[in-house]
Amino acid sequence: MTVDQILSNLSLGQSNPGVQIGSQNIGSGPSFSSSSPVDGKIIGSVSSCTDEDYLKVIDAATQASLEWRQIPAPQRGEVVRVFGEALRSKKDALGHLVSYEMGKSLQEGLGEVQEMIDICDFAVGLSRQLYGLTMHSERPGHRMYEQWHPLGVVGIISAFNFPVAVWAWNSALAWVCGNACIWKPSEKTPLTAVACQNIWNDVAAGFDFVPEGLSAVIQGDYKVGQFITEDPKVALISATGSTRMGKIVAQTVAARLGKSLLELGGNNAIIVEPDANLKMVVPAAVFGAVGTCGQRCTSTRRMIVHADIYDQVRDLLVSAYGQLKIGSPLDASNHVGPLIDTGAVGQYNAALKAVVEQGGSLIAPGGVLEGAGYESGCYVKPAIAEARNEMQIVQHETFAPVLYLLKYETLDEAMAMQNGVVQGLSSAIMTTNLLTAERFLSCGGSDCGIANVNIGTSGAEIGGAFGGEKETGGGRESGSDAWRAYMRRQTNTINYSTEMPLAQGIEFNF
């Protein structure tokens, strides 16, 4: 599939609307371009959002939320079901665009679209399961229960590394819960957002009860994100990105007593016990470290390996890295594509320099690739460093394919190292010992929101709640009961007697 075919299939052109209220294009700000890290070519441009544009967007979204919340949840689910079917029909083209605009492998790009489809399927079932609880009242002749209501308008800020899936994780659930959504995508991957909105518009046109402002897109730099984070009309901000960004969002939203759902940094580790099956360890570690060129929030950053097998694991990893094929992610024979841009390459180089300066050593030295096929300047070699957990660079989340090897003697030491960072997203242990596995999963084990046994840190199924602790933000998206973040809880008490008994036995007679 050529780039022109991809764009045509997704109703994209050289110039595209970057601010949309449903199918209404209102962007009046200056346009900016999107270029591919695959070959450095400009793919197309989108218009940006101005203050005046945003006021139109929030007014439309607010009105849409008032109308949408009155639609029965199963009918809302039906709209999301049809959207999921539309994504199935566009999976190949949208997966190619994700791969080309972001730089992840085509297989990962297609997998990301499949995550969108899967969350739509999940949301459809959820639309008939927005359950509350019934409680026994202490007062006779009373019934007490709780129910969940829509919040109103949900603002979604997504990052470049998962340019479409994270939006779908949020929007599919927010829609079935009765909310309208405003999406601020990464300015590094704007065209995938326009493509998703185009698909949504085609679906929404088939339902006469879907209000125009139910799905809106605003594009631009961080200042555009400020529109929704500062706006009291936006009940919930779901933001995915760096910890630095998340702290700014959290403080801004908290200042207006709004709700925030944060998915931030990860410094994820795999503990490798002496009894681990190394045939499982190596592929889990390599994919976790180099998949998406190390630009996943769940990427494996640290390998904490027992001293008894440290040399063996190190040699196996170095050998595996020597076999990696680096090149265009649209070529299925390649394992690693480019970093998102040359700025990311600069951070990668700075990390490698810091490793040596802080006393570590590079055993798979990495480096920037040049020459034919690497003209974009965004291709790098995945690197492996022998390091110590307390090194500043190891404590930092390096959003690039740099893996730090750490050695330990006891399980207590390993878990202390695992938890000894400010991030708390994903973690894993490789062991065939049931007692060790259960200890890792206990309250005294991993302090991360995700803890795995005999699989890597990278990747997650939509059925489970996704998110982490500490500076990862504490939010939860996707499955389980993550839907509750998009709703407000209400406790109800009904007196069906002819008396007025007061709580706690209080008497108030007159």
Task: Report the catalytic residues.
Answer: 263, 297
The answer to whether 72 and 183 are in contact (CB under 8 A) is no
Helix runs in 329-368, H state only: 342-357
CA triple 147-149-153, angle to 5 deg: 160
Neighbouring C-beta atoms of residue 448, cutoff 10 Å = 27
Neighbouring C-beta atoms of residue 486, cutoff 10 Å = 26
Letter for the amino acid at 185?
P
The pair phi, psi for residue 426, each rounded to 5°, is -125, 150
In whole angstroms, give the CA distance from residue 233 to residue 346.
39
CA triple 223-166-462, angle to 5 deg: 160
Region of 103 (left: φ > 0; alpha: ψ -120 to 50; beta: rest) is left
The answer to whether 447 and 239 are in contact (CB under 8 A) is no
Q: How many CA atoms lie within 13 A of 453 on its CB side?
A: 14
Secondary-structure breakdown of the chain: helix, strand, coil percentages, each rounded to the nearest 5: 40, 20, 40
In whole angstroms, give the CA distance from residue 213 to residue 60.
5
In whole angstroms, give the CA distance from residue 122 to residue 175.
12
Tokens of 464: 């489970």
Region of 375 (left: φ > 0; alpha: ψ -120 to 50; beta: rest) is alpha
